[in-house]
């Protein structure tokens, strides 16, 4: 199965055209899969990291973390290379074919399983890492067959943002942990007026859309391999879009698009993540908003599910992985992790670090900590990209009324079953 996956991805990369190597200005030195280490300035060994961070806050965090590592010891000199998110997995696959790879990769947590199976990452189980201090969900996404191939870098989930002024003007109570789907639907419908839509999220036809939409399927009682069990979510989505209270434009929205519309006052509520908070504080400091957990299915249900997001840090398999391991051991320190995640707009993947007052004393951040308690990873599966494509196609068909909820569930289940059969 591993060879089939590698072959398919290599064919995909070649078909995409002759892609140029990644460039990152002065930080464009790439590693190789061999044992030789490139020498950085001052005779230090080079440690090259790939990332896809685009916001100013994320870029500053990355540089501060690298500067801190470089100043903490005199053997290694770390640098990083920006690779656009849309090209990230293709560039990794191309690098596996050419032998030109970094030492460390920061990547979407749900994508790590497939690259572990493709043999991109090396076993780092012997590293001086406090494995048992990490949250179970994020840690499981870095492992296979009981071995560690990296560490969780950041963890997050989505929750429900609401505009307090819009609710106050309508003399409506804010949503909270007791809000049901019925309550949520009534709120959104009542607030859809005067150019404002009650709710919106990111439902674009990529894994970014799956990340936001899959939660509704799980809360309805389904999962990524049991689509039919979550048909009630399809009904909710299609009916609210038809009512105009769930933005019909969501099928084209990224998470940034949803947040921009929320900040502009076009949405009364949005589903989004904590990485939006730094931007809101910078660009819309007077926005009066709150965050609570996502609505649960009914009064007898427990807290709604959310989907774990965030990144992992994986060590590329090489003869000499000492520099990559040293960097991971540096980041494993709670004080380093906490400062990085404050800048990054996410949560530390360590349980104790996530209890820092920065998060627990802030009502908005605290809501995400509560939502993390019922958040689950996408998959995990080495075939996740194929699952995600099938699942998000179904959501798009429902939200555009291309199919009835029942037909979309039937067809999506068939597509998911085909992926599952290919794993055997």
Long-range contacts of 14-17 (CB under 8 A, 24+ apart): 16/90
- Structure confidence at residue 354 (pLDDT): 86
Alpha-carbon distances, residue 31 vs 16, 80, 173, 328 (angstroms): 23, 11, 55, 17
Which residues are within 8 A (CB) of 13 and not within 5 positions of it... i.e. 6 or more apart?
Answer: 19, 90, 93, 94, 97
Gap between the Cα atoms of 355 and 357, Å rounded:
6
pLDDT of residue 257 exceeding 50: yes
The pLDDT tens digits of the residues spanning 47-102 come to 999 999 988 888 999 999 999 999 999 999 999 999 998 789 899 999 999 999 99
SS3 state of residue 192:
coil
Helix, strand, coil percentages, rounded to 5, for the chain: 50, 15, 35
Q: In what order do the strands lie in the sheet with 45-51?
A: 76-82, 45-51, 104-108, 311-315, 150-152
Contact (CB, 8 A) for 312 and 150 = yes
Instruction: Say yes or no to pLDDT of 238 above 50.
Output: yes
Range 143-156 average pLDDT: 95
In whole angstroms, what is the distance from residue 123 CA to residue 118 CA? 13
Percent of the chain with pLDDT over 90: 75
Distance CA 225, CA 247 (A): 27
Topology match between the domains 2-156+309-376 and 159-307+383-422: yes
Q: Chain centroid to CA 295: how far?
A: 20
Nearest Cα neighbor of 47 from 344, 318, 343, 350 is 318
Compute the distance between CA of residue 198 and CA of residue 267 in angstroms, rounded to an integer. Answer: 6
Lowest mean pLDDT across 37-46, 178-187, 230-239: 37-46
User: Quick check: 24 pLDDT over 50?
Assistant: no
Residue 16 is predicted with a pLDDT of 36
> What element of type H or E holds 269?
strand 267-272
CA separation for the pair 113, 423 (Å, rounded): 13
- Residue of 83, 144, 94, 93 lying closest to 116 (CA atoms): 144
Which pLDDT belongs to residue 137?
Answer: 80
At 309, list the tokens.
């997001």
Largest CA distance in the chain: 67
Note the pLDDT of residue 6: 41
What is residue 78's three-state secondary structure?
Answer: strand
CA angle 365, 366, 370 (to 5 degrees): 120
What is the mean predicted confidence (pLDDT) over 5-32? 36
Token output for 261: 């519309």
CATH 3.50.50.60 fits 159-307+383-422, yes or no: no
Identify which has the larger pLDDT, 410 or 279: 410
* Nearest Cα to Cα of residue 112 among 76, 157, 63, 150: 150
**How confident is the model over 342-385, as pLDDT tens digits?**
988 889 999 888 889 999 999 999 999 899 889 988 887 889 98
Q: Which residues have a Cβ under 8 Å from the Cβ of 393 and sit 6 or more positions away?
A: 205, 412, 415
Task: Express as a percent the part of the chain with pLDDT over 70.
Answer: 90
Report whether 240 contacts 188 (CB < 8 A). Answer: yes
Mean pLDDT for the stretch of residues 216-237: 97
| Per-domain residue ranges of the chain | 2-156+309-376, 159-307+383-422
- pLDDT tens digits, one per residue of 114-127: 899 999 999 999 99
Residue-wise DSSP of 143-165: EETTEE-EEE--BB--EEEEEHH
Q: Edge to edge, what strands does the sheet with 159-163 contain? A: 197-200, 267-272, 159-163, 289-292
Top-level CATH class of 2-156+309-376? alpha beta
Rounded CA separation 418/422 (Å): 6
| Predicted pLDDT of residue 43 | 84
Is the Cβ–Cβ distance between 168 and 148 less than 8 Å? no
Q: Which residues contact 407 (CB under 8 A, 6 or more apart)?
A: none
Residue 31 reports pLDDT greater than 70: no
Tokens standing for 54?
């685009």
Rama region for 219: left / alpha / beta (φ>0; ψ in -120 to 50; rest): alpha
| pLDDT 10s digits, 265-277 | 999 999 999 989 9
Q: How far is CA 84 from CA 23, 153, 328, 355, in A?
A: 10, 18, 23, 32
Q: What is the pLDDT of residue 38?
A: 64
Quote the pLDDT of residue 7: 40
- Cβ atoms within 10 Å, residue 172: 15
Q: What is the mean pLDDT of residues 298-308?
A: 95
- In this prediction, residue 21 carries a pLDDT of 32
């Amino acid at each position: 199965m591993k060879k089939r996956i590698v072959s398919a991805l290599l064919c995909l990369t070649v078909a995409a055209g002759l892609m140029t190597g990644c460039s990152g200005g002065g930080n464009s030195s790439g590693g190789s899969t061999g044992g030789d280490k490139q020498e950085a300035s001052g005779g230090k060994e080079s440690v090259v990291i790939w990332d896809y961070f685009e916001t100013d806050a994320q870029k500053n965090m990355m540089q501060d973390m690298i500067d801190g590592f470089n100043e903490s010891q005199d053997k290694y000199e770390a640098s990083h290379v920006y690779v656009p998110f849309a090209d990230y997995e293709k560039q990794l696959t191309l690098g596996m074919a050419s032998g030109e790879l970094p030492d460390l990769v920061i990547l979407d947590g749900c994508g790590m399983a497939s690259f572990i199976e493709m043999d991109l990452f090396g076993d780092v189980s012997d590293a001086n890492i406090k494995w048992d201090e990490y949250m179970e969900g994020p840690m499981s996404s870095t492992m296979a067959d009981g071995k560690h191939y990296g560490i969780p870098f950041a963890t997050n989930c989505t929750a429900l943002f609401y505009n307090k002024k819009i609710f106050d003007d309508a003399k409506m109570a804010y949503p909270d942990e007791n809000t049901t789907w019925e309550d949520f639907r009534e709120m959104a419908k009542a607030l859809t007026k005067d150019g404002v839509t009650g709710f919106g999220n990111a439902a674009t036809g990529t894994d970014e859309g799956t990340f936001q939409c899959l939660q509704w399927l799980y809360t309805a009682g389904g999962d990524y391999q049991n689509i039919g069990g979550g048909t009630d979510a399809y009904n909710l989505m299609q009916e609210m879009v038809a009512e105009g209270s769930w933005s019909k434009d969501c099928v084209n929205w990224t998470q940034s698009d949803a947040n921009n519309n929320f900040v502009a006052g076009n949405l009364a509520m949005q589903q989004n993540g904590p990485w939006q908070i730094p931007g809101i504080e910078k660009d819309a400091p007077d926005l009066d908003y709150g965050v609570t957990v996502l609505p649960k299915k009914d009064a007898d249900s427990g807290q709604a599910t959310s989907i774990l997001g965030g990144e992992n840090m994986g060590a590329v398999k090489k003869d000499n992985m000492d520099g990559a391991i040293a960097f991971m051991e540096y980041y494993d320190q709670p004080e380093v992790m906490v400062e990085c995640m404050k800048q990054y707009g996410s949560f530390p993947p360590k349980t104790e670090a996530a209890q820092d007052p920065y998060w627990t004393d802030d009502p908005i951040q605290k809501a995400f900590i509560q939502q993390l308690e019922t958040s689950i990873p996408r998959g995990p599966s080495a075939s996740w990209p194929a699952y995600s494509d099938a699942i998000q196609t179904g959501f798009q068909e429902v939200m555009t009324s291309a199919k009835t909820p029942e037909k979309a569930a039937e067809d999506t289940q068939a597509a998911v079953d085909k992926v599952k059969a290919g794993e055997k």
